[in-house]
């Protein structure tokens, strides 16, 4: 089965589409020669970045760009607390989990403390979110005896061979597995007033039935709890409960992919799944965990891990090394001591309210939604039909890049602006995002009308 998603993103560099400076063209040519054809660059005119600080990135000429997209460095670029911790640890010890060390144990205690009230009991560490979701799928298969996976229709869960088979957003050239079933993402803006929780539950139940009809036992329902690749779909809080119960009744596990929504981004809870009041069997985490230092992993219930631990030997040379664990502990310290969960909520409100106000003079803004420091702006060609405007979205993304504000786009129609800044974004910086969007929408719609 093929995905129906177009691989080409709206903000990708396409050779020959836009003029670039000679020095940039030479670097692109060198990059292509050395790295091959599989890598992609963002924006019609790619950026050369040499330094980062907080929410800012800088090019070789010293021009700064406000990073409103990159949640790998969720605390901001080169956060002093994390950088200092890494430097101290790399001068002391960097070794793997085959030796006893306090750092990984302290990290496990700290992370498990964020999920009190659940049955989650154990931490396993990897290097990337893709690895974490791959490991979660292995655990689910062994726990359930099944292979079937249910995901939303524009989901992204990683790039390993196993996980790419249930990541439809990777594009039409990446085959989906025969054991994979897609369900429509819970798009409230396009729901026509129906009960979204009931609809999503019915869709998951239908997917379970179809797996069984084809002799495939369900293993897991895995969702990004903010449905970020699907277009950032946070509302209504609680709509996941019925679907989670459906997969558990079918003998499968519920895996909450928290790579993007986790670590306080919602401004309400530490994890995105917590706003839905559901009980995951596995929670996966990744990008923001080390603020750039490669560390990821999962939390799992004792029940989910029992069979896997009994029959499988797990070892990851770098997953859980002392250096990465130290970085992750520094991230947790910064989130707690700088009040970043609490900070994310009002700054997110500044963004949503400011962009919603722009809708009064920009008809292309169909919907503004989000939770905390995660905002989606759906651009449409017609508010009545709510038709996706991919071309306008692409133009706006690239105009904002030229104005010094970096973001991207997502969703099936590639028409939802994805605003995902570092948690340290200030009110003034939020204002710059709103101003750049206002100007870019005006310029883009005026150009389209000519």
CB atoms within 10 A of CB 88: 12
The residue among 273, 306, 337 that closes a domain is 337
**Residue 267 within a domain:** yes
**Residue 56 within a domain:** yes
CATH code of residue 202: 3.40.640.10
More confidently predicted of 179 and 2: 179
* Same-domain check for residues 70 and 88: no
Q: What contacts 285, CB < 8 A, 6 or more positions away? A: 129, 132, 258, 259, 262, 263, 296, 297, 298, 299
More confidently predicted of 130 and 447: 130
* Same-domain check for residues 385 and 250: no
Ramachandran angles phi, psi of 34, nearest 5°: -85, -35
Both tokens of 116, joined, read 């009190």
The residue among 337, 354, 371 that closes a domain is 337
* Same-domain check for residues 147 and 233: yes
Over 50: is that where the pLDDT of 82 sits?
A: yes
Distance (Å, whole) CA 120 – CA 112: 7
**Residue 10 within a domain:** no
* Same-domain check for residues 66 and 89: no
* Same-domain check for residues 92 and 198: yes
* Same-domain check for residues 122 and 31: no
**Residue 94 within a domain:** yes
* Same-domain check for residues 51 and 137: no
* Same-domain check for residues 250 and 392: no
* Same-domain check for residues 244 and 303: yes
Helix (H/G/I), strand (E/B), else coil: 3: coil
Both tokens of 36, joined, read 């091959």
Secondary structure (DSSP) of 245-296? HHHHHTT-EEEEE-TTTTTTTTSSSSSGGGGGT---SEEEE-GGGGTTS--E
- Kindly report, residue by residue over 109-148, the tens digit of the pLDDT: 999 999 999 999 999 999 999 999 999 999 999 999 999 9
Expressed as residue numbers, the domain containing 103 is 80-337
CATH code of residue 26: 3.90.1150.10
pLDDT number for residue 10: 59
**Residue 15 within a domain:** no
Over 80: is that where the pLDDT of 328 sits?
A: yes
**Residue 324 within a domain:** yes
Among the ranges given (3-17, 28-42, 127-141, 313-327), the one the predictor scored with the smallest mean pLDDT: 3-17
Q: How confident is the model at residue 9 (pLDDT cuts 50, 70, 90)?
A: low
Beta carbons of 380 and 387 less than 8 angstroms apart: yes
**Residue 410 within a domain:** yes
- Kindly report, residue by residue over 214-273, the tens digit of the pLDDT: 999 999 999 999 999 999 999 999 999 999 999 999 999 999 999 999 999 999 999 999
- Kindly report, residue by residue over 281-292, the tens digit of the pLDDT: 999 999 899 999
- Tally of domains in the chain: 2
The residue among 305, 337, 369 that closes a domain is 337
Q: What percent of the chain clears pLDDT 70, i.e. is strictly above it?
A: 98
**Residue 3 within a domain:** no
Over 80: is that where the pLDDT of 5 sits?
A: no
Closest CA to 153 of 369, 413, 375, 370: 413
Residue listed under structure tokens 């974004």: 425
* Same-domain check for residues 246 and 309: yes
* Same-domain check for residues 170 and 293: yes
Q: What is the average pLDDT value for the chain, to the nearest integer? A: 94
Both tokens of 215, joined, read 């002799």
Over 80: is that where the pLDDT of 8 sits?
A: no
- Kindly report, residue by residue over 379-399, the tens digit of the pLDDT: 999 999 999 999 999 999 999
pLDDT number for residue 87: 97
Q: What contacts 208, CB < 8 A, 6 or more positions away? A: 148, 150, 218, 246, 247, 250, 252
Distance (Å, whole) CA 18 – CA 437: 21
* Same-domain check for residues 54 and 138: no
């Amino acid at each position: 089965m093929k995905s129906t998603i177009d691989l080409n993103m709206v903000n990708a560099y396409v050779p020959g589409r836009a003029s670039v400076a000679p020095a940039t063209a030479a670097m692109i040519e060198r990059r292509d020669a050395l790295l091959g054809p599989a890598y992609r660059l963002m924006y019609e005119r790619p950026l050369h970045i040499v330094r980062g600080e907080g929410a800012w990135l800088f090019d070789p000429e010293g021009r700064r760009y406000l990073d409103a997209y990159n949640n790998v460095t969720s605390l901001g670029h080169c956060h002093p607390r994390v950088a200092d911790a890494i430097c101290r640890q790399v001068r002391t010890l960097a070794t793997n989990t085959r030796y006893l060390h306090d750092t990984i144990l302290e990290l496990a205690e700290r992370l498990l403390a964020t999920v009190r009230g659940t049955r989650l009991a154990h931490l396993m560490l990897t290097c990337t979110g893709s690895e974490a979701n791959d490991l979660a799928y292995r655990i689910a298969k062994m726990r359930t005896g099944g292979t079937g996976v249910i995901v939303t229709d524009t989901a992204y869960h990683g790039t390993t061979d196993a996980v790419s088979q249930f990541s439809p957003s990777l594009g039409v050239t990446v085959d989906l597995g025969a054991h994979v079933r897609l369900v429509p993402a819970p798009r409230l803006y396009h729901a026509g007033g129906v009960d979204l929780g009931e609809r999503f539950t019915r869709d998951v139940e239908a997917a379970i039935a179809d797996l069984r009809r084809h002799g495939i036992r369900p293993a897991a329902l895995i969702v990004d709890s903010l449905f970020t690749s699907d277009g950032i779909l946070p509302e209504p809080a609680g709509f996941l409960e019925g679907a989670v119960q459906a997969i558990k009744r079918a003998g499968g596990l519920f895996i909450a992919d928290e790579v993007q929504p986790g670590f306080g981004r919602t401004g309400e809870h530490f994890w995105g799944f917590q706003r839905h009041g559901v009980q995951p069997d596995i929670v996966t985490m990744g990008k923001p965990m080390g603020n750039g230092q490669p560390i990821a992993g999962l939390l799992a219930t004792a029940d989910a891990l029992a069979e896997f631990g009994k029959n499988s030997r797990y070892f990851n040379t770098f997953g859980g090394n002392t250096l990465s664990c130290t970085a992750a502990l520094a991230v947790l310290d910064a989130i707690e001591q700088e009040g970043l969960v609490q900070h994310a909520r009002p700054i997110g409100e500044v963004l949503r309210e400011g962009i919603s106000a722009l809708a009064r003079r920009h008809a292309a803004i169909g919907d503004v939604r989000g939770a905390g420091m995660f905002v989606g702006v759906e651009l449409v060609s017609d508010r009545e039909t709510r038709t996706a405007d991919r071309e306008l979205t692409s133009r706006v993304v690239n105009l904002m890049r030229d104005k010094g504000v970096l973001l991207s786009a997502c969703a099936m129609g590639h028409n939802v602006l994805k605003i995902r800044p570092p948690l340290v974004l200030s009110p003034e910086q939020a204002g710059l995002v709103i101003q750049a969007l206002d100007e870019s929408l005006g310029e883009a719609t005026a150009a389209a009308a000519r």
